[in-house]
Amino acid sequence: MSDKFKTGIIGGLIGGLFFAIAMAAFDYFNHTNFNIFKFIFHFAFFGLFQALFFGMNFKKKKN
């Protein structure tokens, strides 16, 4: 695997996890029930976009 791919995946996983936890905390403080599907949705889609942008940014800085 290339450095761009590894860096993008790791950055996406970390970014998606933090975003999903923040959204779950926001729901908790608004007294709504925890929804695992919403958590997975936030983690997957935000993580995917973070991985794409982080990987592209890494490529630009490397050159």
| Whole-structure pTM value | 0.76
For tokens 């942008």, what's the residue? 53
Cα gap 14→20, rounded to integer Å: 10
- pLDDT tens digits, one per residue of 4-16: 778 778 888 898 9
Q: How many CB atoms lie within 10 A of CB 45?
A: 13
With a pLDDT cut of 70, the percent of the chain lying above it is 87
R_g (Cα) of the chain, nearest Å: 14
Give the start-to-end residue ranges of the domains of the chain: 3-62
